[in-house]
Amino acid sequence: MAVCVIGATMDTDAGDQIVPACNVHCYYAPCPMNGEPASTTPIEATDEQGREKALGFWSLRTKRQRPLVLHHGSWGDDRLHDGAGCWCGPDLLPAEGGAE
């Protein structure tokens, strides 16, 4: 089961406010889901600044409890990065715990 990781998250439904939310369960803080399975929806990042930095971001934001789609290149590329089937051939890293 997954533990919550609360962070500053942009709420696009509330005028792009920054709000505290659980990055593991996808709930506003305080998260009522602590100890429940993590969201199975992957988070996405690029390796533009290096794979290790991207993996560090994943660890910090979710403790690797959610899957990660790691795109190659930059969000600023001319072609839009689009999920696990993206043109860049991203790596899909499975959750390392909590997502069941």
Least confident of 30-39, 62-71, 76-85: 76-85
Structure confidence at residue 100 as a pLDDT band (50, 70, 90)? very low
pLDDT at 14 over 90: no
Average pLDDT on 58-66 reads 96
pLDDT at 73 over 50: yes
Question: How far is the C-alpha of 61 from the C-alpha of 45, rounded, in Å?
Answer: 11
pLDDT at residue 75 in the model: 86
Cα R_g (the chain), whole angstroms: 14
- Helical spans, DSSP H, in the chain: 51-62
pTM of the model: 0.85
Other C-beta atoms lying within 10 Å of the C-beta of residue 99: 20
Q: Is 1 helix (H, G, I), strand (E, B) or coil?
A: coil
